[in-house]
Amino acid sequence: MKIDNLAVGSWALILFKGYKTHFCPSELVGDLIADIGARGGNAYEVRETDNGGADLPGIVAADRRWEDILIGGFKLGFPSQDFEYFMEELELSPVRKFASGREYHKVHGWIHCVVLTPEQRAFVLKTMAEMLPAVHQRVEEENRRFLEAIDKANEGKLRVMSWRAQALRGTVPPKNRN
């Protein structure tokens, strides 16, 4: 898809060869491509999309919950368990400037980055702050169900170990420094 084919107010998933993929509002796509291109990322593909997000590395739980924030027609999502992490990253994200002088913010996930205008960042942070109490409740419930599943799996002869379960119970052993 050519950049000119992106609708005003739409979002793009930009796949750069050798770089993380980026979710980016259409008004910043040209600047982002020029920026990555200046660093050698000249092979890319642009796809219009209506959803995206970022998460952290680790073992993926198939039933893990995501929290969604609507920015116009784009659904930005973060896993509930990582919600506060990304909120803090976004709060701490410095204002960046493209060569054109246009300002933006970027949040890095494991495989994807999310690029936002300063206005979008302010909106997302306000929305995240409003969502936070309910997200905490959902995370507590998700943690409770996770621990119950670990306990049930460990009722027989099978022994399932999980750093997450140990962390939730406050029983993570110290790292071996030898």
Within a domain: 168: no
Within a domain: 41: yes
Q: How far is CA 141 from the centre of its chain?
A: 21
String of DSSP letters for 35-87: HHHHTT---EEEEEESEEE---SSPPPTT--EEEEEETTEEEEEEGGGHHHHH
The residues that bridge with 47 in the sheet, in sequence order, are 13
Region of poorest pLDDT, from 65-69, 116-120, 157-161: 157-161
- pLDDT tens profile 59-74: 656 678 899 999 989 9
> In whole numbers, what is the pLDDT of the chain averaged over residues?
88
DSSP state of 99: T
Phi/psi class of residue 109: alpha, beta or left (left: φ > 0; alpha: ψ in -120 to 50)? beta
pLDDT given for residue 178 in this prediction: 46
pLDDT given for residue 1 in this prediction: 36
pLDDT given for residue 32 in this prediction: 95
pLDDT given for residue 56 in this prediction: 85
**pLDDT beyond 70 at 176:** no
pLDDT band at 158 (very low <50, low <70, confident <90, very high): confident
Within a domain: 171: no
Per the structure, the count of domains in the chain is 1
- pLDDT tens profile 27-37: 999 999 999 98
H helices, E strands: number in the chain: 4, 9
Within a domain: 116: yes
What is the domain extent for residue 73?
3-139
Within a domain: 124: yes
pTM for the whole thing? 0.85
